[in-house]
Amino acid sequence: MYLPRAEAVSLVQQLRTLDRHGIFEKPVSLADYPDYLGFCPAPMDLSTMEKSARASGYGNKGQILADFERCIDNCLAFNPPKNWFHLAALEVRAKLERWCDRYFSCSLDALRSQWQPATQPAGRGKVVAGGGTSSASEVNGITKPKRRRSATAAAVPAAPAKRRRRRRSTSD
């Protein structure tokens, strides 16, 4: 049984609002980044997810969330840790966790354990920088990412404290 089209499309559109920079909107250009498939053998983006949702390609909400997490995981695997895209992906992951708490009234981890994909396509595991997939911490075929600091904490360093200059009195 598949998720109704309208519900699947609506869920993808709601996930799209979490990506305020639009980094997951379109597929990564293989002409610009020819080595991308070496890092991310199963690319995913929001436009592909929406096409799949319109074609009734999702069996449940968990599959949509797994594809969105794959967008994030691919971005984290391809971009170095201090890169702007890497930090933006961490920010989107933190927003996704908060959004799941509000939308589904439970954590993203709980959703991963409730919903399992109808079929397990190749390359669904978490993509790691070496080009393989991680076998650690998989739950029902959906890879559970490691907890990370929120992107806002990592992206915005603390502002240095301003020093106040003391005026020396000239009355000595």
Which pLDDT belongs to residue 107?
A: 81
Structural contact between residues 7 and 60, judged by C-beta atoms closer than 8 angstroms = no
Which pLDDT belongs to residue 145?
A: 40
Which pLDDT belongs to residue 122?
A: 42
Which pLDDT belongs to residue 171?
A: 58
Listed as ranges, residues in the chain with pLDDT below 70 are 1, 114-172
Which pLDDT belongs to residue 169?
A: 56
Domains of the chain: 5-114 (1.20.920.10)
Which pLDDT belongs to residue 167?
A: 57
- Between CA 56 and CA 4 the distance in angstroms is 7
* Closest among 7, 143, 146 to 68, alpha carbons compared: 143
Which pLDDT belongs to residue 120?
A: 42
